[in-house]
Structure formats: structure tokens, C-alpha cells
Amino acid sequence: MNTTSQRKRLHKPTYRQASDSTSALGFSFQEGVTMKIRCSELPRALKCPASLGAGVRIDEEGEAARIGSAVHECLAKTIKGEDCDWESIARAWNVEPDQVTPLAGAGMKAWNEMDITPVAVEEHLTAEVADGITLTGHADIIGDTVSAARVVLDWKTGGSSSSYRDQLIGYAMLARENGLAEQADYTPVAVVWLRDGVLDTEYITADEIGELRSDLKAISAKTDRYSAGEHCLYCPRRHDCDAREANLRADVKVLTEVKCEALTTPELAALKPKADALKKVIASYGDLLKRRLAESGPVDLGDGREVVLEKGERRYVKTLEALPVLEEYGLTVEDIADAVTISKSKVGNLLAASAERGQKGAVRTDFDAALEAAGALEVKEMESVKIRRSQKSLTAGG
């Protein structure tokens, strides 16, 4: 088991006193007013304390966030034993089911293999961690393993991030403060990267929790300190942040002026984080434009064209209700099979739901083997370029 006894923060926040020329991002905490910080905000808050300041905050929920919320709801309800339909949940979050069900299926596969008895599922936790500062967060799962060890579990539906550990320290702190984890030398946090199919166990030490508490106390100092980076993407104050704008302009300049064909593969790969950041900015712009057009209607561009929000609909056939109709029209079993897609993860969930404790993983394995033996599995290869945690770091992480 690898534990962390000493931790060196790579992005230790630094502070300077605000002056008369303080940026619009400058702020100070008012005495008697409690600042609430979510665990999900910690990576940004510790790097850029000014992002927590007063002023206009715009919380925009993009598609990636909605996918994450839908997956978390699917997993929480399934693990609680509640009746739920993953596809319906996806549509309720205004995302396509095929963007949600594979991730939820990966989560259930990992859950059945871990064999954890849940103590809390999607539990909202709060704790006053410093004067005037309250830490909040939703713990995906807190539970006991077969060895009676208490563990915090966190589902990750996005890509790899280099700054997620601060968030995990926050969850471990909340679990301890709320009596859901022991005040031991360390608290294990299981991180499930659903897109990569990787389970990564982190061991959060008491020293790291103490250091986070100290950092949060320091944030309450008056400051105009801010910094730009990947943490800017979902910052609620990004719309008026000079640092973020300068950072994006620099990224655009690099990507538009560089001659990509002349770059080596490592040089091209090094540009991917910048390209991904801009891609997310464009996606966020698209979501915002949709909302604005829904409110205002078409906008004339003044050149004979207009920007409109076109609405359409997708019609889904309910399989069970449709079967008598299909038979009435003379379709054979082979015809129907050619038109119907069976969700492997959904059928697996049904089988696992009726399995005895400790046998869920075995049932899924046997089911997969039976499908394979019957020639009922078709494998389609896909290619995508993404950033993930290196194998070296996974080995080092425990």
C-alpha cells in the first residue's frame, strides 16, 4: 500500500495586498459573512482565490456537466436499489442516452467488482473548516469494504485532470468532519475514471487535510491574486477575467500561427491541452447562444442571413408495445433483431440486480462469456485522441 506522508503542493496559492488599482476581480471577505466553497471548486480556488470574489457570477451548465449529472443520478439510484430507467434519466438532463448509459454501465461494473457496503450515497456534506469558510460537497459513495475499511468513492465522468487531488482531500475532510470516516492517519478514496475504465485508489493523509485547512484559512486574506489555466473553463467569473482572456488569446495565437505539419509528434501532443480548452470554450459559446436565441428569437446578421434556433424531435419506438404491431406487419424474428439494439450494460444490470451479494461480478462475467460463446457480441473499433493519466503515474498512485 502506498501512502503519502508528505505532500508538496504544486500550485501553492500566493497572495498580495490589494491597492487602489485593484482589478475588478479583487475582493475581501466581510466579517460575519460565511463563504461557502464546494469541493469541486477547490482546484480552482486554491490556484485562483480571486475567482471566489463577490460580483456577478454566471454558472453555465454545459453538455459535459449534464452528462456527468445524469451518470451520477443513474448510479446513485441503481446502487440505492431504486427503480430507474437510465435512458429516461439521460433525456431528463437533455443529453443523448448513448452518452450516459456506457458510463453508467462502466460505473456499475466497477461497483460490483469492488463489493462495497454503502453507508452514504450522494450525501450532501458541510463543515466549517475555518473562520467564515464552510466547505460543502456531495460524496458519491461512502462505504465499507469486505475488509471493514471505510472508503470514499468518487465517480469521474470527464477526462484526466492534473488537479483533482485537492477535491479528493476535500471529500476526505468532509467525511471525517461529519463522522463518516475515522480520524486515522489516512482516508482511502477510490477514484473511478469511467471513460478510461480505471480504478485508482488514493490515500489522503491527515497532514494533507491539515494543509488544506491552512490554505483555506489563507484564502480569507484580502487579495487581488488570480491566475489563468484549465481551471478557468467553468469559473463563474470567467466572463470578466482579464487573465483568462489573455490566456485564451495566447492559445489561439499558438494554434493559428503554428505550422502543425512541421511539428514533431511530441510537439503536437503538447498542444492538445490548449486545443481542448478552446474546444470547450466554443462548446460553451454554443450552449449560451442556444439559450439566448430561445429567449430573443432569430437575430439578423445584416447581410441577408439570420441566426435561428431550429427545433426538431427524435421519435423512439417502445420495444414492448411495438412487438404486436411488428408481428402484425409480418416481420420475422430476424427482421426485428436487425432493427433492435440490445443494451449489453442494461441487461447486465438486470442480471446483477437479482444476484446474491458478492456474486454480481461473477454473473456479469458469465453473461459476457455466454454471449461470446453464442457469437452474439460484435466489436467495433473506435479511435480517439485523449489525455489520460500516464501508466507511470497510475503505478505510483497505488
Q: Contact, 307 vs 297, CB < 8 A?
A: no
Q: Is residue 273 included in any domain, yes or no? A: yes
> Using CA atoms, how far apart are residues 119 and 129, in angstroms rounded to an integer?
23
Domain identity same for 67 and 179: yes
Domain identity same for 264 and 216: no
Q: Is residue 163 included in any domain, yes or no? A: yes
Q: Which residue has the higher pLDDT, 152 or 23?
A: 152
Cell numbers of 360, please? Answer: 454480481
Domain identity same for 150 and 257: no
Q: Contact, 182 vs 172, CB < 8 A?
A: no
| pLDDT average, residue stretch 62-77 | 91
Query: What is the dihedral sign for C-alpha 346, 351, 357, 362?
Result: negative
Strand, coil or helix: what is 364? helix
pLDDT grade, residue 369 (50/70/90)? confident
pLDDT score of 381: 86
| pLDDT average, residue stretch 13-39 | 48
pLDDT score of 58: 59
Report phi then psi at 263, rounded to 5. Answer: -85, 150
Summary mean pLDDT of the chain: 80
Domain identity same for 151 and 256: no
Distance of CA 185 to the CA centre of its chain: 28
| pLDDT average, residue stretch 360-384 | 84
| pLDDT average, residue stretch 208-215 | 92
- Percent of the chain whose predicted confidence (pLDDT) is above 70: 81
| pLDDT average, residue stretch 339-351 | 81
Among 47-61, 105-119, 231-245, which range has the highest average pLDDT? 105-119
Distance of CA 267 to the CA centre of its chain: 28
Q: What is the CATH number of the domain that holds 108?
A: 3.90.320
Which of these, 94, 105, 41, lies nearest to 66 by C-alpha position? 94
pLDDT score of 389: 64
Domain identity same for 255 and 194: no
Give the global pTM.
0.62
Domain identity same for 63 and 191: yes
Domain identity same for 166 and 256: no
Domain identity same for 211 and 243: no
Strand, coil or helix: what is 79? helix
Q: How many domains does the chain have?
A: 2
Q: Is residue 309 included in any domain, yes or no? A: no
**What type of residue is 164?**
Y
| pLDDT average, residue stretch 101-110 | 91
Q: Is residue 291 included in any domain, yes or no? A: yes
Cell numbers of 353, please? Answer: 440486480
Helix (H) or strand (E) holding 245: helix 242-257
> Using CA atoms, how far apart are residues 51 and 58, in angstroms rounded to an integer?
12
Whether residue 321 has pLDDT greater than 90: yes
Range of the domain at 263: 231-303
> Using CA atoms, how far apart are residues 63 and 93, in angstroms rounded to an integer?
9
